Each structure stands twice: as structure tokens, then as C-alpha cells.
Amino acid sequence: MRWSELPDISWRRFSSTYRRCASRRAKKHGARWFRHTRNAYYKGESGMRYRKAVATGAQDMAVDVQSGGAVPRTIRGVVRDLINVTKPGITMSNAMMTFVGIWLSAGRHPAFSLAMMTLAGSSLVVMGGCAMNNFMDRDIDQLMTRTKKRPLPNQRLSGWSVISLGALLAFLGVALLCVYVNLLSAVMALIGLFFYVIVYTGLTKRTTTLSTVIGSVSGAMPPLIGWTAMSGTLSTGAWLLFLFMFIWQPPHFWALSMRRVKEYAAARIPLLPVKYGFAPTKRQIVAWTVLLVPVSLLLYVAHVTDVFYLISALLLGGVWIVKALRGLRAKDDIAWATEMFKFSLIYLTGMAAAMVI
């Protein structure tokens, strides 16, 4: 039984009567009428049939939702879901590193309009890539607790709408960079998009444990976009920023994958902790974390940053190495991985701030 087949004394009928009441007094009268009539009906002989109809209708609505049936959506809800598929958190972190590239390349005095155009264009490309990633991963997202409530697994959005949104945003971002910034920055954005959508999501994520390292190429492109937008060249500073971001990502994501290892295993994604266990993963995290510290110092050696950055890099890098080494003897691997994941975000934010101060 559907809601349209319920007895006449229902919220549906009352709502139409209630909306016709213009004054506050009439609204109160309408509410009193509904309560009186509802109670009289509900307690009568047909009350049992009414309660059964309500329960049946609720069950049918639940089935409609699960089967992808037509469910009324508000504009606000649709907009919220469209924003969700662009992964605002990832977009913001990429915009932060794009700004770092802009700031350092321009000698700490970037042109405001050019910087805004660069941030807008690069962010649109990142948002487009994230939407495409959501579309391509919609099948495995259904199998993971962390992602099964996303709009596509829940069928709140159609696949066509998400992939169309992703293509449109990516096109607008590249066009904005090409027209208002320069061709080289647009090429850097296209390379990042290609590695994220095609190489990482399409080719390697479900086939090899090296996907984390390969996917780090796309995550390291934002500083290059910012740098080339200001200078039009790929100098030493640009490549050092790229190397810094490239090395930061594997220990960050391996810590996350340790926390969610059961979910990734259920989705059959061959990440390092899924295929080889925690011990080799922890050793890799330690190795990449130790490698990151001297690489981060190269930015000071190349005169891209100042002494404040040098001190910050030594302190933050030292803390991260100590935390990583503790993991080799940690009894609770999940708790250690959670701590490492959270500190990796603190480290990146602190290093980015030190670069621009």
C-alpha cells in the first residue's frame, strides 16, 4: 500500500486544508480540527486498519528509497550532494598548496587578480577530477563504511549527472587557466587530472600496491600550477615543491589505509596493508617519513624559503619521525595509524604556513 492509498484522515489531507487557512486564528482552528478528527478516527473501529496502513506505507517508502525509486528531493539537498562529490576537503588542501606555489614563485608579492584566477582554475580542475573519481569508484564505495553514504552509492544522484559535472568543472578550470593565466599552468593542471582520473583511479588503484605512489604525482601538481602561473617556468623551486608533496603523500595515505584496512579488503583494493600486512606498511611509512625531512630542507638550501621555515621543518619533521619510529613497537596499530594520519595533516598545514610567513 502506498501513501496515496491511506485513509482520508492523514497528514496529506490536513496539509492541504491547513495551507488554505490564511489567518493565525484560522490556523489554530485548523490544527484543533485535525487533532480532534484524527483522535476520533484513530480510536475507532478502523483505527487498527489505519495503523497497519501507515506501517505498510512506511515500509514501501523505504523499499522505494533502496531500489532507487523516485523520492522527492529539495534543491538544497541536491546542491549539497553535488558539492559533496567534488570533495571540498581535498579541494581546499590542494588550493592551499597551489597558493604556496603562487606565493613563493612571486617572491611573496603575487598579483592579486592573477593569483585569484589561478586558485579558481586549479580548484575547478581538482573538483572536476574528484567528481570523476566518485563516478568511477561508485561500485566499491558501496562496500566501504567510510564511503557508502556518498550520493552515488545511495543513488541520491545519477551517474550521468556526476560525470557531467566533473567534465564541466574540469573543462572550465583548464579553460580559465589557459585564457587568463598561461598555457603552462593549464598543462600542469591537465597532467594532474590525467594522473588522478586515468592513471590512478582507472588503471592502478584496483590492480597494484604501487597505486599510492603513482597517485602521488597528481597530488603534487598543485604547487607546480601555482608556480608556473606566476613565473611561466619550471625552475628548481617548483620541482622541490613537487618532490616535497610527492613524498608526503604515501605515509599519509598508508596511515589512512591501515585505519580502514578491513573496508579496503572488502572492496578488494590491493593497498599495501591489505596485501602485505601492517609490519611492512609501518616500515615503509618510517622510510618515507625519514626521507621527507632532508627533502624539505632543500627548499631552504635553494633559497626558496627563509630561516623560519628551516626551524619549522626541523621541528615538525623531527616530531613526525619520532612518531613514525614508535610505530615499529606499537601494540595498537590502529591507534598509531590514527595518530600518524592526524599528524600528517598538522605537518602539511604547518609546513605550508611556514613557507608563506
Decide which of 199, 217, 233 is a domain's last residue.
233
Together in a domain, 200 and 245: no
Q: For the chain, give the percent of residues with pLDDT over 90.
A: 75
Contact 340, 321 (CB under 8 A): no
Together in a domain, 58 and 117: no
Decide which of 19, 46, 72 is a domain's last residue.
72
Q: Domain containing 162: what range?
A: 75-233
Binned at pLDDT 50, 70 and 90, residue 62 comes out as very low
Decide which of 53, 72, 91 is a domain's last residue.
72
Contact 192, 173 (CB under 8 A): no
Together in a domain, 79 and 228: yes
Together in a domain, 99 and 228: yes
Residue partners of 353: CB distance under 8 A and separation at least 6: 312
Together in a domain, 216 and 118: yes
Assessment of whether the complete model's pTM goes beyond 0.85? no
Together in a domain, 218 and 89: yes
Return the percent helix, strand and coil in the chain, to nearest 5.
80, 0, 20
Q: What is the pLDDT of residues 96-112, one digit of tens each?
A: 999 999 999 999 999 99
Per the structure, how many domains does the chain have? 3
Of 306 and 4, the one with more pLDDT: 306
Together in a domain, 169 and 23: no
Instruction: Summarize the confidence of residues 329-347 as an average pLDDT.
Output: 95
Together in a domain, 131 and 215: yes
- The answer to whether residue 16 scores a pLDDT higher than 50 is no
Together in a domain, 262 and 126: no
Together in a domain, 35 and 146: no
Which DSSP letter does residue 251 get?
H
Give the per-residue pLDDT at 74: 87
- The answer to whether residue 50 scores a pLDDT higher than 50 is no
User: Distance from first CA to last CA of the chain, Å, rounded?
Assistant: 65
Together in a domain, 82 and 215: yes
- The answer to whether residue 19 scores a pLDDT higher than 70 is no
C-alpha cell at 14: 490536513
- Residue 74: helix, strand or coil by DSSP? coil
Together in a domain, 143 and 290: no
Helix (H) or strand (E) run with residue 30 in it = helix 24-42
CATH number at residue 88: 1.10.357.140
